[in-house]
């Protein structure tokens, strides 16, 4: 059952009506974030019903001890856990002595949530009758400022509807929070100081082990009918929290408004002993501007984001809402300001997957950020891995690879591996390939080669070295083989010669050798520096080449396809369509061994390689492989449908492409996997963007040109998207009649549409 309670709306996510059993799901869907922090849509006032509290600070994590049944050498000592941070949103409300609580009140009506994606704010409004008969109308509006990214702002309005009432409002901070996934009752935060000053208050705390210092702060002002109360609040503190209390008699029809500015200052950005004063600086700025002006800034800042990244869809409001939700969430999660941060699979919307960095960033997110931001953002994403190169070399050493070989971690916070299942950590080594591919992809898209001599080549050398050491020569096959890997299809473990991994390994070596030549010729001093630093030799690179030139690729003569891995044809090749529906999703219905020996594919594996290296294969090749593998693909990874949508579109199968698109675009809004309460699938949202731009729009970079082969799903009247191509903004509009290309920039550029060259002048619009 899909939830299906989100109202279709082009610019907003809207929920109407209060249902206790969807509170946790809505807390995910209405999450807000600003790249530096994030907040689930928890209620400000006390709620005794089922809820999943979540306030997250970018880059703040906890290294939880790895615990496994049988410890295997090489396991990381910890896995990273994203931490629920101290609560900054809380505002308790007590009305004639009764605490406002939507779980225990007499009735709730006109409950409505809106996440306004165009302007970047979240609002919740409702009317409530308390057990004591008092009726209130509440409206709470909040946002995380894009401009002051340490600041959250809340305006909480209480109108008394039926009688004169004593209302007590209590804005508070609370560091007595827990993690949903804390199995072992570990404590994650140490609170060191709680203080207050008039209408401001502060909790200073740091995380255990990692010792991240955080000051959680707030300032509150309360207004009766728009006029600020003159008395200062009474302040109460206990060991873990601080609360300001304002008590006021409110006449029938009158409105009491709390404006709370709050958030975190973190010692990633400030000295530890200056966190409190930094908080005061933020509060001073915010106070000077006030809630309304801050809200104005917020609208303007989101306006700028949309200007560059919006996709419009005509004739399908749900599709429109879906794609905007995806673009909105990606921008809430990562804005490219800080190359120490990255994009966790759940962003700031839940705890799962540890908020850490996966290969999702390079394989799925980079294209989105390259095309919708200035190239500095993509550079930041690449630089993140460059900063982690030493750790990747250490990681490879832990697994027995010397000589500067680099194995990037499967999951990381700080460059160290922090995932602890051998079949993933030790074997899903294809991630190294995605990181190299991103360097190639960045150059291809931006035309900027400077990253390679400056940083990228060192990364490539570490990666090439890893592949060279990771293969072994099979006397039996007289080829180099890669034994014991897990491919992108995680429904196979410890297989031999996963085609995708073998292909990437060969490509990485070839690409690195090419870049070495190019840098040697064109950036001699960089080359010398790197050659010396990495102690490279021509004997070593000759050894690499031997591996690349003699890599084994499993192939079936019968089916004329590369095999996903050795022995794939031994499986019982029953197609997904012939599986009883009751057997699916197999990851919920089947035991692991059954999944492993089945032919079922979690997400694109061979086809992921065909996606990356499209130009290495003919359309006929693609068709044969798509026809062979897709029927065994269960798409139980959120990252699967997008690649298939792009390839189906390429093969002219628009109906199928559209079906795949639907699976990815409203995955969370319609809760296909019945798990949205755990948080949103952030990284796969970039895949949705790719489905439209690369799939329907057919955008590619080839011959150093932006190229399009636009198509449109039957269900749509028109769609448009924007591409920032080397600082020129191109708006592409596609409808049933054709496509239009409008350039806003300062240079003439040439693009290809359906393989025909089209010249575009700045300001000009060309219809094809």
Indicate which residues carry an active-site annotation: 490
Contact 660, 648 (CB under 8 A): yes
Nearer to a second copy, 410 or 649 (CB): 410
Phi, psi (degrees; rounded to nearest 5) at 601: -110, 125
Is residue 248 close enough to count as binding a second copy by CB under 8 A? no
Please give the biggest Cα pair distance in the chain: 90
Nearer to a second copy, 412 or 724 (CB): 412
- Residue count of the chain, please give it: 768
**Smallest separation, CB 399 to a second copy (Å):** 4
Is residue 496 close enough to count as binding a second copy by CB under 8 A? yes
- Binding pattern to a second copy, positions 47-66, x when CB under 8 A? -------------------x
Please pick, from the candidates 7, 209, 285, 398, the single residue that binds a second copy as defined by CB under 8 A: 398
Hey, how many other C-beta atoms are within 10 angstroms of the C-beta on 607? 26
The residue behind tokens 């010398």 is: 528
Of the ranges 305-313, 327-335, 424-432, 737-745, which one interacts with a second copy (CB under 8 A)? Answer: 424-432
Do strands 705-708 and 12-16 pair parallel, antiparallel, or not at all (unpaired)? unpaired
Is residue 674 close enough to count as binding a second copy by CB under 8 A? no
Per DSSP, the three-state class of 232 is: coil
Phi, psi (degrees; rounded to nearest 5) at 347: 55, -135
Nearer to a second copy, 593 or 703 (CB): 593
Of the ranges 414-422, 537-545, 704-712, 757-765, which one interacts with a second copy (CB under 8 A)? Answer: 414-422
- Binding pattern to a second copy, positions 580-619, x when CB under 8 A? -------xxxxxxxx-xx----------------------
Nearer to a second copy, 72 or 271 (CB): 72
| Number of residues near a second copy (by CB under 8 A) | 53
Contact 32, 38 (CB under 8 A): yes
Per DSSP, the three-state class of 615 is: helix
Contact 248, 166 (CB under 8 A): yes
- Binding pattern to a second copy, positions 74-103, x when CB under 8 A? xx---x------------------------
Per DSSP, the three-state class of 284 is: helix
Please pick, from the candidates 161, 399, 579, 768, the single residue that binds a second copy as defined by CB under 8 A: 399
**Smallest separation, CB 728 to a second copy (Å):** 45
Q: Which residues contact 750 (CB under 8 A, 6 or more apart)?
A: 705, 757, 758, 759, 760
Hey, how many other C-beta atoms are within 10 angstroms of the C-beta on 107? 11
Nearer to a second copy, 526 or 605 (CB): 605
Of the ranges 32-40, 68-76, 160-168, 355-363, which one interacts with a second copy (CB under 8 A)? Answer: 68-76
Nearer to a second copy, 9 or 186 (CB): 186
**Smallest separation, CB 378 to a second copy (Å):** 31
- Binding pattern to a second copy, positions 181-220, x when CB under 8 A? --xx------------------------------------
Contact 642, 667 (CB under 8 A): no
Nearer to a second copy, 198 or 477 (CB): 477
Scanning residues 456 to 495, which ones bind a second copy (CB under 8 A)? 472-477, 481, 483-484, 493-495
- Binding pattern to a second copy, positions 427-446, x when CB under 8 A? x-------------------
Is residue 553 close enough to count as binding a second copy by CB under 8 A? no
Nearer to a second copy, 177 or 596 (CB): 596
Indicate the angle between helix axes 457-470 and 389-398, nearest 10 degrees: 10
* 3-state DSSP helix/strand/coil % of the chain, to nearest 5: 35, 25, 40
Is residue 252 close enough to count as binding a second copy by CB under 8 A? no
- CA 645 to CA 687: how far, in whole Å? 10
**Smallest separation, CB 74 to a second copy (Å):** 3
Radius of gyration of the chain, Cα coordinates, nearest whole angstrom: 27
- CA 533 to CA 36: how far, in whole Å? 35
Q: 249: closest CA among 103, 134, 132?
A: 134
Contact 2, 670 (CB under 8 A): yes
Q: Where are the alpha helices (DSSP H) in 666-708?
A: 682-690
- CA 675 to CA 750: how far, in whole Å? 45
Nearer to a second copy, 585 or 762 (CB): 585
Contact residues toward a second copy (CB under 8 A) are: 66-70, 72-75, 79, 183-184, 398-400, 419-422, 424, 426-427, 472-477, 481, 483-484, 493-497, 566-567, 569-573, 587-594, 596-597
């Amino acid at each position: 059952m899909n939830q299906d309670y989100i109202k279709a709306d082009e610019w907003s996510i809207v929920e109407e009506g209060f249902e206790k059993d969807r509170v946790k799901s809505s807390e995910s869907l209405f999450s807000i974030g600003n790249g530096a922090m994030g907040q689930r849509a928890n209620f400000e006032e006390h709620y005794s019903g089922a809820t999943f509290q979540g306030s997250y600070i970018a880059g703040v994590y906890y290294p939880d001890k790895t615990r496994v049944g049988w410890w295997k050498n090489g396991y990381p000592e910890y896995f990273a856990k994203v931490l629920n941070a101290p609560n900054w949103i809380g505002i308790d409300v007590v009305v004639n002595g009764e605490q406002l609580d939507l779980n225990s009140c007499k009735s709730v009506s006109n409950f409505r949530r809106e996440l306004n994606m165009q302007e970047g704010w979240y609002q919740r409004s409702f009317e409530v009758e308390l057990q004591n008969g008092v009726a209130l109308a509440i409206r709470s509006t909040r946002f995380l400022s894009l401009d002051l990214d340490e600041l959250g702002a809340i305006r909480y309005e209480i109108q008394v509807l039926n009688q004169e009432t004593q209302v007590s409002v209590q804005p508070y901070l609370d560091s007595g929070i827990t993690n949903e996934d804390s199995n072992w009752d570990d404590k994650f935060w140490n609170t060191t100081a709680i203080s207050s000053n008039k209408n401001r208050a502060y909790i200073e705390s740091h995380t255990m082990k990692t010792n991240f210092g955080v000051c959680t702060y707030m300032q509150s002002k309360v207004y009766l009918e728009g006029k600020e109360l003159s008395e200062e609040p009474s302040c109460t503190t206990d060991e873990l929290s601080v609360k300001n209390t304002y008590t006021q008699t409110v006449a029938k029809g009158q409105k009491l408004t709390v404006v709370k500015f709050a958030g975190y200052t973190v010692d990633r950005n400030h000295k530890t002993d200056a966190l409190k004063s930094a908080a005061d600086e933020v509060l001073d700025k915010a106070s000077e501007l006030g809630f309304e002006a801050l809200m104005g800034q917020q609208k303007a800042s989101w306006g700028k984001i949309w200007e560059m990244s919006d996709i419009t869809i005509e004739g399908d409001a749900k599709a429109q809402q879906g794609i905007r939700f995806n673009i909105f969430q990606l921008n809430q999660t990562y804005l490219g300001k800080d190359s120490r941060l990255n994009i966790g699979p759940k962003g700031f919307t839940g705890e799962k997957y540890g908020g850490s960095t996966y290969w999702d960033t390079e394989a799925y997110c980079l294209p989105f950020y390259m095309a919708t931001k200035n190239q500095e953002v993509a550079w930041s994403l690449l630089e993140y891995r460059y900063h982690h190169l030493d750790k990747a070399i250490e990681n490879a050493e832990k697994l027995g690879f010397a000589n500067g070989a680099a194995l990037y971690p499967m999951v990381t916070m700080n460059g160290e591996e922090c995932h602890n299942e051998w079949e993933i950590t030790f074997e899903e080594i294809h991630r190294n390939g995605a990181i190299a591919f991103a360097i190639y992809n960045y150059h291809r898209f931006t035309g900027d080669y400077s990253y390679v001599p400056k940083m990228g080549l060192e990364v490539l050398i570490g990666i090439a070295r890893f592949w060279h050491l990771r293969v072994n020569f099979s006397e039996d096959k007289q080829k180099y083989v890669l034994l014991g890997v897990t491919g992108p299809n995680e429904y196979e473990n410890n297989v031999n010669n996963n085609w995708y991994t073998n292909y990437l390994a060969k490509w990485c070596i070839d690409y690195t050798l090419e870049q070495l030549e190019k840098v040697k010729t064109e950036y001699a001093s960089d080359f010398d520096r790197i050659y010396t630093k990495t102690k490279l030799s021509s004997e070593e690179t000759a050894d690499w080449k031997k591996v690349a030139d003699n890599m084994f690729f499993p192939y079936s003569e019968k089916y004329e396809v590369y095999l996903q891995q050795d022995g794939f044809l031994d499986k019982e090749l029953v197609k997904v369509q012939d599986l009883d529906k009751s057997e699916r999703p197999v990851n919920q219905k089947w035991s692991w061994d059954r999944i492993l020996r089945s032919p079922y594919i979690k997400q694109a594996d061979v086809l992921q390689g065909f996606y990356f290296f499209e130009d290495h294969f003919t359309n006929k090749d693609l068709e044969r492989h798509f026809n062979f593998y897709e029927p065994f693909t269960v798409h139980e990874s959120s990252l699967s449908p997008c690649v298939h949508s792009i390839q189906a579109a390429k093969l002219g199968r628009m109906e199928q492409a559209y079906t795949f698109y639907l699976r990815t675009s409203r995955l969370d809004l319609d809760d296909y996997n019945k798990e949205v309460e755990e948080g949103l699938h952030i990284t796969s949202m970039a895949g949705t963007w790719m489905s439209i731009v690369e799939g329907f729009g057919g955008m590619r970079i080839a011959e150093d040109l932006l190229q399009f082969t636009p198509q449109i799903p039957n269900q749509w009247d028109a769609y448009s998207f924007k591409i920032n191509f080397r600082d020129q903004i191109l708006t592409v509009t596609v409808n049933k009649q054709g496509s239009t290309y409008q350039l806003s920039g300062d240079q003439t550029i040439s693009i290809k549409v359906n393989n025909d060259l089209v010249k575009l002048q700045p300001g000009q619009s060309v219809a094809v």
